[in-house]
């Protein structure tokens, strides 16, 4: 795979930024994820930042301090822009140079003068706001959880996933313009839906609004039109991973998906977390990619020794669901499900390789959604339609309210982290979204 375990993964490493050394921190010195930020309620320019404990490293300020040299310094300057695209364009060597340079400066071995100078570039996370970290040219969303596919199939009256599922990393072309960063608030969408016993469809606000627990894969290196990327080289084209909520209007989606793919049922909002965790930071949590012996093995273009050895990643993923009543009462949100990315039927390398096998040219900043991440049990469902069995078994919130689908005022928070004995905990942060009431139907067109 792309990166090997090295000194930046040492669990004993500590930072002079005290908040990063606390147990359970998402952002220890072994993580160092990237985002784009500015101080809240300011007119400051957006610029790149790196998380360390409860702080954000202002990379635009750091680039003026002269603490980094060579490729790491050039990479820091590239991160001074309003998106991370220019930094991604520098390639894996620059990605690693910046991370290793930051690891050195933030470590306890940094001298007192370096620490004092660096501290001038720290901004409390509690006082910042985030932007979508990259200019996203295109967004493709996959369908790569066998458990999600089988659960949806059963709810639709089928016995299993579609026959092509075990042969192809399935995907559709999403809508990049409606992708927003964590904290996104969006209106309940309008669209056509048809009740089973109705004679005709109606234009109405969705009655079956859902979330989807996913990861976002960020393309960091483009390929030329007509030049596929092999599965062996695919991860050299991926900078890192974040959280993604592919909000879905199920009644609109299922009515329009005959015969084509999702359209208005998906394009109204997609929420991503602000932080992108590099593949290098995730190196300790790689697992073998294993396919059940009874299932067809991947075609040769989707197979490689390295992918079989370490193509999967152990990432724990959680869904936390709240309501307006819960917020008024001051009741904590409730975790309604938890699963792992290791269950995914296809790896991130296979997704990217398949995307380009026809010659499709991915560009820097493109986002690939992994598709809903669900596990083998009901409690590991990554979508509410699965968890509540399409309304047959409503989910109870911390307030005692029940949900078959999302209601106005509801919030959904996705969280993710990696844990393994002998290594530091690596967090992905949070991906939060809130449902607002729909526009009046007559104003919807």
Report pLDDT for 2: 59
Examine residue 203 and state whether it is found in any structural domain, yes or no.
yes
Measured between alpha carbons, how far is 188 from 406 in angstroms, rounded to an integer? 10
Record the tokens describing residue 244, joined without a space.
Answer: 């993604």
179: left (phi over 0), alpha (psi -120 to 50) or beta: beta
Shared domain check, 331 and 205: yes
Shared domain check, 203 and 62: no
CA distances from 381 to 45, 172, 290, 319, 388 (A): 40, 21, 21, 9, 9
Q: Give pLDDT tens digits for 41-65.
A: 999 999 999 999 999 999 999 999 9
Shared domain check, 166 and 112: no
Record the tokens describing residue 53, joined without a space.
Answer: 């404990």
Q: What is the largest CA-CA distance in the chain?
A: 75
Other beta carbons within 10 Å of 378: 15
- 182 preceded by a cis bond (ω within 30 of 0): no
Shared domain check, 118 and 32: yes
**Per residue of the chain (445 residues), what is the pLDDT tens digit?**
457 899 999 999 999 999 999 989 999 999 999 999 999 999 999 999 999 999 999 999 999 999 999 999 999 999 999 999 999 999 999 999 999 999 999 999 999 999 999 999 999 999 999 999 999 999 999 999 999 999 988 887 766 788 899 999 999 999 999 999 999 999 999 999 999 899 999 999 999 999 999 999 999 999 999 999 999 999 999 999 999 999 999 999 999 998 888 999 999 999 999 999 999 999 999 999 999 999 999 999 999 999 999 999 999 999 999 999 999 999 999 999 999 999 999 999 999 999 999 999 999 999 999 999 999 999 999 999 999 999 999 999 999 999 999 999 999 999 999 999 999 999 999 999 999 999 986 665 5
Other beta carbons within 10 Å of 74: 17
The CATH number covering residue 413 comes to 3.90.850.10
Examine residue 2 and state whether it is found in any structural domain, yes or no.
no
Shared domain check, 428 and 377: yes
Measured between alpha carbons, how far is 87 from 50 in angstroms, rounded to an integer? 13
The CATH number covering residue 86 comes to 2.30.30.230
Shared domain check, 112 and 90: yes
The candidate with the shortest Cα–Cα distance to 55, out of 75, 77, 82, 28, is 28
Examine residue 368 and state whether it is found in any structural domain, yes or no.
yes
Domain end, chosen from 131, 164, 187, is at 131
Other beta carbons within 10 Å of 220: 29
Shared domain check, 47 and 64: yes
The candidate with the shortest Cα–Cα distance to 17, out of 160, 117, 119, is 119
Q: Which of 148, 343, 354, 355 is catalytic?
A: 148
Domain tally for the chain? Answer: 2
Q: Please, how many CA atoms are within 13 Å of residue 396, restricted to the half-sphere of its CB?
A: 3
Shared domain check, 229 and 166: yes
Other beta carbons within 10 Å of 40: 11
Domain end, chosen from 81, 109, 131, is at 131
Shared domain check, 121 and 19: yes
Domain end, chosen from 74, 97, 131, is at 131
Q: Is the pTM of this model over 0.85?
A: yes
Shared domain check, 401 and 332: yes
Other beta carbons within 10 Å of 23: 6
Query: Is 371 in contact with 345 (CB distance < 8 Å)?
Result: no
Shared domain check, 159 and 114: no
Shared domain check, 167 and 88: no
Examine residue 350 and state whether it is found in any structural domain, yes or no.
yes
Examine residue 262 and state whether it is found in any structural domain, yes or no.
yes
Other beta carbons within 10 Å of 101: 21
Examine residue 14 and state whether it is found in any structural domain, yes or no.
yes
Active site residue 173: no
CB contact set of 27 (below 8 Å; sequence gap of 6+) = 20, 33, 51, 52, 53, 275, 427, 429
Examine residue 55 and state whether it is found in any structural domain, yes or no.
yes
Report pLDDT for 1: 44
Q: Give the range of the structural domain holding residue 84, as residue numbers without chain letter.
A: 7-131
Examine residue 259 and state whether it is found in any structural domain, yes or no.
yes
């Amino acid at each position: 795979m792309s990166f090997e375990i090295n000194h930046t993964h040492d669990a004993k490493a500590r930072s002079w930024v005290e908040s990063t050394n606390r147990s359970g921190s998402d952002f220890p010195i072994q993580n160092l994820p990237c985002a784009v930020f500015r101080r809240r309620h300011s007119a400051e320019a957006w610029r790149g930042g790196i998380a360390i404990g409860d702080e954000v490293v202002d990379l635009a300020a750091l680039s003026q301090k002269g603490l980094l040299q060579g490729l790491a310094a050039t990479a820091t300057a590239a991160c001074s822009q309003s998106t991370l695209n220019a930094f991604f364009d520098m390639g894996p060597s620059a990605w690693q140079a910046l991370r290793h340079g930051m690891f050195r400066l933030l470590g306890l071995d940094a001298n007192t003068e370096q620490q004092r100078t660096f501290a001038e570039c720290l901004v409390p996370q509690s006082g910042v706001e985030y932007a979508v970290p990259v200019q996203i040219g295109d967004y493709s969303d996959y369908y790569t959880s066998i458990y999600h596919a089988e659960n949806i199939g059963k709810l639709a009256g089928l016995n299993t996933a579609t026959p092509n599922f075990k042969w192809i990393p399935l995907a559709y072309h999403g809508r990049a313009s409606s992708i927003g960063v964590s904290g996104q608030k969006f209106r309940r969408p309008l669209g056509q839906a048809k009740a089973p016993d109705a004679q005709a469809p109606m234009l109405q606000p969705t009655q079956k609004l859902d979330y989807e627990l996913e990861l976002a894969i960020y393309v960091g290196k483009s390929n030329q039109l007509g030049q596929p990327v092999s599965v062996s080289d695919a991860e050299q084209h991926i900078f890192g991973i974040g959280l993604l909520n592919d909000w879905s209007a199920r009644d609109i989606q299922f009515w329009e998906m005959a015969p084509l793919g999702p359209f208005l049922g998906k394009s109204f909002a997609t929420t991503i977390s602000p932080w992108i965790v590099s593949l290098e930071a995730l190196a300790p949590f790689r697992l073998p990619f294993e396919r059940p012996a009874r299932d067809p093995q991947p075609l040769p273009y989707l197979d490689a020794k390295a992918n079989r050895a370490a193509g999967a990643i152990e990432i724990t993923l959680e869904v936390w669901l709240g309501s307006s009543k819960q917020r008024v009462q001051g009741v904590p949100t409730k975790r309604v499900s938890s699963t792992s990315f290791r269950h995914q039927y296809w790896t991130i390398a296979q997704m990217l390789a398949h995307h380009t096998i026809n010659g499709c040219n991915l560009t820097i900043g493109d986002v690939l959604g992994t598709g809903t991440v669900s596990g083998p049990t009901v409690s590991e469902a990554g979508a509410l339609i699965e968890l509540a069995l399409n309304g047959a078994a409503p989910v109870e919130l911390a307030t005692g309210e029940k949900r078959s689908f999302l209601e106005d005022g509801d919030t959904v928070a996705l969280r993710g982290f990696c844990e393994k004995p002998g290594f530091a905990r690596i967090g992905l942060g949070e991906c939060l979204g809130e449902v607002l009431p729909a526009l009046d139907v007559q104003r919807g067109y």
